[in-house]
Amino acid sequence: MYAVAKPYADPGMQRKLEWVACMLDASEASAAKIGCSPEAIVAQAAQETGWGRSAIGNNVFGIKASSGWKGAVVMRPTWEVENGAVVHIVAPFRDYSTLADGIEDHFQFLKVNRRYRNVFDHDNTMSDQEYFRRLAADGYATDPNYAQRLSDVLDAVNVFKSRLSEDGVAVSPPPPRLMMIGVSPGPDVVALQKALGITADGDFGPDTKRAVMEWQRTHPACGDVDGVVGVLTRMSLGGNHVSRA
* Number of residues in the chain: 245
Q: Is 200 helix (H, G, I), strand (E, B) or coil?
A: coil
105 is catalytic: yes
Which of 200, 163, 164 lies closest to 3, judged by CA? Answer: 164
- Give the whole-angstrom CA distance, residue 228 versus residue 208: 11
- Give the whole-angstrom CA distance, residue 92 versus residue 105: 16
Q: Which residue in 18, 95, 105, 188 is the catalytic one?
A: 105
Helices then strands, counting H and E runs in the chain, come out as: 8, 5
Q: Which residue in 28, 80, 143, 201 is the catalytic one?
A: 80
Quote helix, strand, coil % in the chain, to nearest 5: 50, 15, 40
Active-site annotation, residues:
80, 105
